[in-house]
Amino acid sequence: MTDIWYTEKYNNNLGLTFKIKGTLHCEQSDFQKVEVIETEAYGKMLLLDGLVMTTEKDEFFYHEMISHIPMLSHPNPERVLVVGGGDGGTVREVLNHPSVKEVVLCEIDGAVIDVSKKYLPSIAGKLDDPRVKINVEDAIEYMKRQNKSFDVILIDSTDPMGPGEGLFTEDFYTNVKNALKENGVMAAQSESPIMNQKELGLISNLLKKVFPIVKTYIAPVPTYPGSFWSWTFCSETVNPVEIKNEKAAEEIEKHAKFYNKDIHKSVFVLPNFIKDIVKQ
């Protein structure tokens, strides 16, 4: 059989290339091209507009990091909002926290949810949990209507171009702040500190205009550009480096592939070149 390879080019000069078994799904939704391909190295892979969103084998890096760090920075998160994240991986991790009573998933593209449920059940399988409310809507509009509604908001968006663009603005972040309850916390994916240094710097600057506490944290994500990723934590009052619920953290640590209590602190330690980018 002919070898078939899929290459995600990070720019005109560099890419990661995957041997694939075949294409399982390909559609043009109202917002983007939605594809699922099966790779030899990483199992099934979700692509949006040709960019790798998640894979069965390495999704835990990203989903544990975007969820457990902010969730365990809050003593008792009950209501959580996930923006984007239609693959369901972030929702699944949030539901592992026993304090959670409701998770709202606000995803602009229903096709991403449907495709993930069909082809990626190990990632999307908890979207049917009774604590989950799925809201297929542009989060920019949704956020305008919220007021002190959530303990934790997780912005699990695509890149700052395409459908996700409006989620990287001062206006949007201001509405996120207003949507948080007192002592609420948020975290947003903030691009690769290796491949998207300009974008990371811009996101950090914008967030600092809105939140008094802004802290970037980092971890590997093998199938993302540079294989190394950043998230940025924000709050009006909370220092995220301290775990607020030790018992919950120990429980999460038991079942996690990446997270543990020491990792909770170490991911906030930035190499000099990233300190220079985010000025933190």
In contact, 215 and 240? CB cutoff 8 Å: yes
Other Cβ atoms within 10 Å of 238 Cβ, number: 20
Q: In this structure, what token pair is assigned to residue 107?
A: 């995803």
Catalytic residue among 156, 159, 171, 276: 156
Is 265 a binding residue for its own copies by CB under 8 A? The answer is yes
Residues in contact with its own copies, counted by CB under 8 A, come to a total of 36
Q: Report the residue from 142, 260, 277, 280 that binds its own copies according to the rule CB under 8 A.
A: 260
Residue 70's H or E segment, with its range, is helix 59-71
Which residue type is seen at 191? E
Q: Is 156 a catalytic residue?
A: yes
Other Cβ atoms within 10 Å of 213 Cβ, number: 15
Among residue numbers 165 through 224, which ones bind its own copies (CB under 8 A)? 194, 219-220, 222
Q: In this structure, what token pair is assigned to residue 239?
A: 């220092």
Q: In this structure, what token pair is assigned to residue 140?
A: 């920019």
Phi, psi angle pair for 139, to nearest 5°: -65, -25
- Please choose, out of 97-105, 159-167, 204-212, 260-268, the segment that lies near its own copies by the rule CB under 8 A: 260-268
Other Cβ atoms within 10 Å of 56 Cβ, number: 18
Encoded one letter per residue, x for contact with its own copies by CB under 8 A and - for no contact, window 38-77 reads: -xxxx-----------------------------------
Shortest separation between residue 37's beta carbon and its own copies, angstroms: 13
Residues with catalytic annotation? Answer: 156
Which parts of this chain interact with its own copies (CB under 8 A)? 7, 11-19, 39-42, 194, 219-220, 222, 226-228, 253, 256-260, 262-263, 265-266, 269, 271-273, 275
